[in-house]
Structure 1
Amino acid sequence: MTNPHKGRTGLDRMMRATRYSMDGLRMAYLGEQAFRQEVWLAAVLLPLGLWLGRTWVETALLLGSVLLVLIVELLNSGIEAAIDRVSLELHDLSKRAKDLASAAVFLSLVLCAMVWLMALWQRLAGGS
């Protein structure tokens, strides 16, 4: 059995996918305080990363670590929405899914902080 919603191809599919993605970003920004805070942090860190990175690899790591936090937060929000859609009742599996998604956000933040602290330390220490 084929999915009738998967029949689009080419430019039409790309345009719709882009619109759905923009809808998701808008919903996350308006409905998720953590995502909103991370967007504002990214608005500061992304330009700073362009200045701080000395090579394209350093710049990519700085910018990528910030974008990874946003990506993982979006996935976390999606998991939470799906769990809440199924049931708002407290359940061990629902808690596990939400806690695991939250842990992924936490680890992405730790990674981001480590990358930025190492880059700042290298810059302040006068390293290459």
Structure 2
Amino acid sequence: MKVHSPYKSKGGFGRLLNALRYSAKGLNAAFRHEAAFRQELLAACVLVPAAIFLARSVVEALLLIGVLVFVLIVELVNSALEALADTITLDHHPLIGRAKDLGSAAVLLAILFATAVWVTVLGARFGAWS
């Protein structure tokens, strides 16, 4: 027996508009409530123009910008996980603590990956690797 959620839409163009509205609400909530997201967004606002200026090709620019977007995506997922965990309980619980730590580790890995890509591309751009 299949159970349908009353919160799931049926589809169509209205579903797309609702999805866009929910996404905008999520981005707004992240900006308003998450300091780490604001910091990473500020870094992206500085680094995106730098990527366009420094890149030697469109693919290189997309790579530099893509890793910045990846960091923001992972931060959003981590923030969602933390909000959900805090909704369940604000008391210390080892599994919730582990979940939050895992989310934080995911953000760290995304930042390290973005840094490695930027260092590699800039090193190649300015001849450090030749």
Which residue pairs with 2:107 in the alignment? 105
Which residue pairs with 2:84 in the alignment? 82
Q: From 24, 32, 52, give the equivalent of 1:30.
A: 32
* Partners of 1:75 and 1:126 in 2: CA distance: 35
**Secondary structure, aligned partner of 1:5:** coil
* Partners of 2:74 and 2:108 in 1: CA distance: 9
Which stretches in structure 2 are left out of the alignment for 5+ residues? none
- Stretch of structure 1 that moved more, 103-112 or 117-126: 117-126
**Secondary structure, aligned partner of 1:8:** coil
Which stretches in structure 1 are left out of the alignment for 5+ residues? none
Which residue pairs with 2:10 in the alignment? 8
1:89-127 deviation digits (Å, cap 9, x = unpaired): 101101100000000000000001111111111111177
What letter is aligned with 2:90?
L
- Stretch of structure 1 that moved more, 100-109 or 115-124: 115-124
Between Structure 1 and Structure 2, which shows a larger proportion of helix residues? 1
RMSD (CA atoms): 1.5
TM-score by length of 2: 0.93
Which residue pairs with 2:61 in the alignment? 59
In the TM superposition, structure 1's runs of 4+ consecutive aligned residues that sit over 3 Å from their partners are none
* Partners of 1:126 and 1:76 in 2: CA distance: 35
Percent of aligned positions that are identical: 45
